[in-house]
Structure 1
Amino acid sequence: MSDCLFCSIASGAAPGFMVATTPTAAAFLDVRPVFKGHVLVVPKTHVVTLGDLDPAEIPEYFGFVQRIARAVETGLSAGGTFVAINNRVSQSVPHLHTHVVPRTKGDGLKGFFWPRTKYESDEEALSFAEKISTVMSS
């Protein structure tokens, strides 16, 4: 879909801090992360919600989400991850995306209140993307 930001990032037509890709999905940094290293995983085909995803694609998609979650933990020395999907409500871009947020004990995240932060620079964002990407490549 030409006017979808996530389709554009996944295809390389728009800039994004890419972490990893498969033939059917892409993972890139959220530009307004809950915590630095917060990754969005999206299918490359335009679907709005999880319910719209072709059932045949679910194992591959969530297998990729699982690999990203492991890479976030390992690459960022995180204590764990928070993995979530919004369908329509609170979905700022109408394209299915799975949040993979690095967590540490005492990080202050409570319930579904998501405070946002910013990367200090593109270089800092790129360093987080590279840390996760390195794990994905090994």
Structure 2
Amino acid sequence: MTDPCLCCGIVAGEVPATKVAETASTCAFMDINPGSEGHLLVVPRTHSRDLLEIAPDDLAAVTVEAQRIARAVVPALGADGVNLLNCCGAQAWQTVFHFHLHLIPRYADMGRDRLALPFEPGVPGDPEAIAATGARIAAAL
């Protein structure tokens, strides 16, 4: 890594952040551009650019920590649900290139939640196209 990494700076304590939890391999802190009340990020301490690069053990640690935090966030904030979101690559909305999971509490009260779906769920796709794409993915594995 040659460019300074915002998340690495936060993990190291060099960049100010509101940290909410730390483990030997993860750090969780509040998102400064929240999509809802309580929106936070869970990151590995070890730098990985994205989902394609992160080590399996770090990915597992981040996911388990996100679950632990979600179990506390829902009752503590009175959330109605939680989204976990990872964006991998600029076309997928990744803007900070250190792997991170967004843990986003969701609320029926839209005064606490400004997120909306970027696509319309429940709209069926072409079954033949879905099957063909599934076959391509299975073959790549």
TM-score normalised over the length of structure 1: 0.74
**Paired residue type of 1:18:** K
Q: Does 1:99 align with 2:96?
A: no
Higher relative contact order (CA 8 A, sep 6+): 1
Moved more, 93-102 or 1-10: 1-10
Q: What's 2:115 paired with?
A: 109
Cα distance per residue 1:22-56 (max 9 Å; x no partner): 11110000001001210011111110111211113
**Paired residue type of 2:115:** L
Name structure 2 gaps, 5 residues minimum. 120-141
Name structure 1 gaps, 5 residues minimum. 114-138
Q: Counterparts of 1:118-133 in structure 2 under 5 Å? A: none
CA separation of 1:8/1:72 partners in 2, compared to 1, >3 Å: closer, same or farther? same
What SS does the aligned partner of 1:51 have?
A: coil
TM-score normalised over the length of structure 2: 0.73
Q: What's 1:24 paired with?
A: 25
Q: What's 1:53 paired with?
A: 54
- Higher Cα Rg, which structure: 2
**Over aligned residues, Cα RMSD in angstroms?**
1.8
